[in-house]
Structure 1
Amino acid sequence: MNSQTFSLQPFASSESLANLEITGDISRNINQFSISYTVTGDLKEILVASPSNTPSRKHQLWEDTCFEFFFGIKNSQQYWEFNLSPAGHWNVYRFDGYRQGMREETALTILPFNVRNQPDKLVLTLNIDLDKIISREQIIEVAITAVIKYINDGVTYWALTHRGAEADFHLRDSFILEL
């Protein structure tokens, strides 16, 4: 099993208004993939959608507080974007190359994950079998990101690393974890 911890950093031009910290862990055991985000800080300053009774696949989740990760197959331009809303909504997109050929990943029809929202901590955990989209032998390169929206309409963009002049989660050289 390959397991790693992570800590996200806000993009340099965005100011964290709530003294937040976003940490977590990621692992891959054969093709079972797990990721867990933990957000701590002044959570009453951020907008967190209430849990939905009917979580579903939705578009443009990144317009609100959203946890994301990207992974691509090593030595390939193809990659996937996973979006997870604290409300339980989700989506997965497949790309042929940098922001090219975006389409929903239809091999995944459900993406169940768990959200625990407490006054001092928000924890989001996902476990998924990757067999439907990649083979067990393929090495994946991963970028872990988050969009945090504040009650005052401010937004911060968080990632393991920011390699561009602007916050851009799609830059392949920011897929820095290997599983």
Structure 2
Amino acid sequence: MQTHELIAHPAHPASRVTGVEARIIGRDAKWLRLRWRIAGGGALVVPPFAGRGRADELWRSTCFELFLKPQGGEGYCELNLSPSERWAAYDFDSYREGMRERPFPPEPSCTMRQGSSFAIFDAAIPAAGLPDADCAMGLSCVLEETGGATSYWALCQPDRAPDFHDPACFTAQLAAPIPA
């Protein structure tokens, strides 16, 4: 699967993180598997385990995000995944309009491994909660580091403030799942 280099927003530089790669590990009729690799991730602030379950405002600390916009439409979905194992899923009718919780049975699962020089975040997302179509995709993350630096990483960065919802950030493609 293809690896995507994420770019830090220039107005919010990282302190020790030197790069982020995101990739689709696999997709089938039941699961979408994603991985983010953070170079210099040894200084990340990792939210403590909180047990699986929905939670809002996960982006206020280290969080990994997926945006999917089915081809030919204005609507899109957003998934936020925290190392705490909390998650959120939302639908939007158009750019930041019509936000509502996206139904998501069963829950996504995720794990974070952190070493002194890098960190790996893996997520397994049930296909039942995702669009069943070819989609434009945005991959992003918010990385909080010890010492207070917070950086915002995405496939593309608009010139203004960080905005993962910006249509310019949906630069990758995710093919519809292969039927079982």
List gaps (5 residues or longer) in structure 1.
none
Normalising by the residue count of structure 1, what TM-score does the alignment of the two structures yield?
A: 0.87
Could you say which residue in structure 2 is the equivalent of 1:145?
Answer: 140
Contact 2:92 2:100 in 1 (8 A): yes
Could you say which residue in structure 1 is the equivalent of 2:177?
Answer: none
Percent identical among aligned pairs is 24
State how far apart, in whole Å, the 2-side matches of 1:170 and 1:15 are: 20
**Deviation (angstroms), 1:169:** 0.5
Normalising by the residue count of structure 2, what TM-score does the alignment of the two structures yield?
A: 0.86
State how far apart, in whole Å, the 2-side matches of 1:76 and 1:28 are: 25
State how far apart, in whole Å, the 2-side matches of 1:40 and 1:68 are: 18
**Deviation (angstroms), 1:103:** 1.1
Could you say which residue in structure 2 is the equivalent of 1:60?
Answer: 57
Distance change (3 Å), C-alpha of 1:27 and 1:19: closer
State how far apart, in whole Å, the 2-side matches of 1:18 and 1:67 are: 18
Could you say which residue in structure 1 is the equivalent of 2:98?
Answer: 101
- SS class of match (1:62): helix
Across the aligned residues of Structure 1 and Structure 2, the Cα RMSD in angstroms comes to 1.9
Larger mean Cα displacement after TM superposition, 73-82 or 152-161: 152-161
Contact 1:38 1:121 in 2 (8 A): yes
**Deviation (angstroms), 1:15:** 1.5
State how far apart, in whole Å, the 2-side matches of 1:132 and 1:149 are: 28
- SS class of match (1:173): helix
List gaps (5 residues or longer) in structure 2.
175-180
Distance change (3 Å), C-alpha of 1:177 and 1:114: same
Q: Render the CA deviation track for 1:1-48: whole Å, top value 9, x for unaligned.
A: xx311111101222221143211311554544221111121522x311
What is the number of residues matched between the two proteins?
173
